[in-house]
Structure 1
Amino acid sequence: MPSAVNWTISRKPSPAQLVSKTIRKTLKNSDPRPKPAPSPIRITIPYQGPVTHQIACLIKNKANIDVTFFSSKSIKTHLQANGRGTISASPNPIGCIYQIPCNCGHQYIGETLRPLNTRLEEHRTSVRKLDQKSAISEHILKNINNNIMWEANKVLSTNNNWRQRKLQEAIDIRRHQPAINHYNDNEYK
């Protein structure tokens, strides 16, 4: 006697059934993943494209530091490693890093948020009074025959952000190693 064979006919699901099945499956498994606990430290870095995400992942994984981004013109505006600054067209820029030369070949590098002419006038007053309140007046006290070339001042870069301007000033001081700044070393340690 022949054995009974159970024949089932398989049929393909219709597109509507496939969509419905996928939706049910997705909704069933849609348990929200718990958000990771925030790190105790958060930093903000300029967004510079896909490499920024890689840096953020490294910082998060290796140091447990959360990273957020802000947009900026370019990394060049922060580091300016080529030595050419963002020079203002204004003869009296506000928020700048400046350089003042001396006739002995040494120079002074400083920064100010105020108009450059205001800061230069403060340096001139300090030199006239020989009050040792600035590194320039100390330089003139130690080298009485030297003359500061006020009109040959040069704007190295402009930036109204205090932290970025201080960072750029430190980079310029490190790069140019102005001898006049070194009379007042405790300011830059």
Structure 2
Amino acid sequence: MSLQANGYYLLEINKVFSSKPKQLREKLPHLGMVFLPYIGGVTDKIGRILEKNNIKTIFIPTKKISEFLRSPKDPLDPLTASGVYKILCSCGLVYIGTTKRSFLTRWKEHMRFCRLNQPEKSAIAEHALNNLSHDVLFHDMKILSRTSNFYVRLQREAIEIYKHPNNINRQFDNICLNKTWHLVLKNVRVIDNNI
């Protein structure tokens, strides 16, 4: 396609092409921009070729300084967060729970309810007290999701309960999961069971 077909006058075209090559590159707008990792002796040559074809080259470092340094912050203990968790029983059933406080605080509460025979305060305690031969595997508690948002926690808990149909949760403790999730989660449940 010619420059005239794109609306440029012949006088403008001749004026631009009769100027020196450096002035030509300055007068024409850049056709595009390319980001290349800088490798000495290689990408600078590529950059010069692209610049002759009116393509601006921006060199980026192959690694940032932050990738060489460790984080200045101390890593947080995951048990100090809030969210959704899973506790297993030796019989194969699971308890899916949510907490706005730390996982550690809620974990200790479940253990205390079992020790003090308070089944009304915890579904885990109720299960353990009704099935004395079962061992609740408190030390194998798994964190499924860390979030402090109330609605996100409730939704995630409902999803996890649906994914784990062999649970000891009380049915009135959780929110109903929207039926649009069922098809997606049915496939996830099959994958989880095969692992």
Q: TM-score, normalised by structure 1?
A: 0.50
Q: Per chain length, whose mean CA-contact separation is higher, i.e. which structure has more relative contact order (CA < 8 Å, sep 6+)?
A: 1
Q: TM-score, normalised by structure 2?
A: 0.48
